[in-house]
Each structure stands twice: as C-alpha cells, then as structure tokens.
Amino acid sequence: MRKTFVLAVVCTSITAIAAAQYKANTPAAPVTKPANGGPSPVIVSGARTSNKASFPRISQADALKLYKEGKAVFIDVRSNQQFEIQHIKGALSIPGSQVVKRFAEVPRQKTVITYCACSAEQSSGRAAADLTAHGVKNVWALKGGIVDWKAQGGPVATGAK
C-alpha cells in the first residue's frame, strides 16, 4: 500500500512538471486586457510558431502596420557596421552576440521585432528566442528581414543612431 502511494505521488509530480514545461513552451493565447493594467498585447495575424525549437515570426505587412502606429520597437541584430550602412528607421542596434547581455535595454511597453538580413531569420530568430527566455514579452522575428523590408518600401536610414 505504501509503495502504491509513493508511486502515485511520483507519477503525479512528474505529470505536473511535464505539463508546466509544456505550458511554458506553448505560445499563450492573446489576452485583451492584462491583469496588471499594462498595455494590451498586440494580436498579429502574420505571425506563426511551429515547435519549441522555432520562434515566432511576423509578416512584413503586420510589422509595417505596427511601425506606422508607433507600437513596435525594431532591434537590428546585425553588426554595428551593417547597421550604419542601412537599417530600419528608428531601430536599435543590438548585435546578436550582445542580445543576452543587453536585454535590459529592450523597451517592454511595445511589441519587439528583431531583424537581420538572413533568408530564414536565423539570427533574428535566435535573438527573439533569447529575449523571450530572459522575460521579454511579445517578441517576434521579422520575416524576410531588412531585405524584404526595403523591397516592401519600409522606411530605412543610414549611419549610427
């Protein structure tokens, strides 16, 4: 009887831990009004996630809409030299190798959109995942990066910020 009780407790504990880990790696459903009274999250139709090894992405159209509404902060994860050549107007330059060290600099009141020049958002996706792992909410990687941003007519700037 005692062995059965111990086995039941162990199984229940393992199930609870597994459920908590699954929940932590599953994107939360959008909430219309946060309990803490903070800003409401932005619902983005062009975003997607596939599995826990991936990261959320945002479409160029949705990113441009948030940009025009002033509801997003863009983070360029390319090198400082690439940033100076050309970047999304108003973006912050935080190279991918510095994202974890500098995550406290990321404004938390807006949607955070990381971008790079990669064809499949490799660098910006890693940065988005790192920021999320450090508690930054509502982080997305820009589909197509700065290359598609420019092709879609998104505003760009040159020089250091």
120: domain CATH number? 3.40.250.10
Asked whether residue 27 is domain-assigned, the answer is no
Asked whether residue 147 is domain-assigned, the answer is yes
pLDDT of residue 160: 84
Q: Which amino acid is at 107?
A: P
Asked whether residue 55 is domain-assigned, the answer is yes
Domain hosting residue 78, numbered range: 46-157
Mean pLDDT of 110-135: 93
Mean pLDDT of 25-37: 38
Asked whether residue 108 is domain-assigned, the answer is yes
Among 36-40, 76-80, 86-90, 99-103, name the one with the lowest average pLDDT.
Answer: 36-40
Mean pLDDT of 126-142: 93
Of the spans 12-26, 71-85, 111-125, which averages the highest pLDDT?
71-85
Asked whether residue 15 is domain-assigned, the answer is no
Asked whether residue 138 is domain-assigned, the answer is yes
Asked whether residue 7 is domain-assigned, the answer is no
Asked whether residue 40 is domain-assigned, the answer is no
Confidence category of residue 55, pLDDT binned at 50, 70, 90 = confident
pTM of the model: 0.67
Tell me the C-alpha distance between 32 and 108, whole Å: 17
Mean pLDDT of 82-99: 96
The domain tally of the chain equals 1
- Phi, psi (deg, nearest 5) at residue 112: -105, 125
Tell me the C-alpha distance between 141 and 29, whole Å: 18
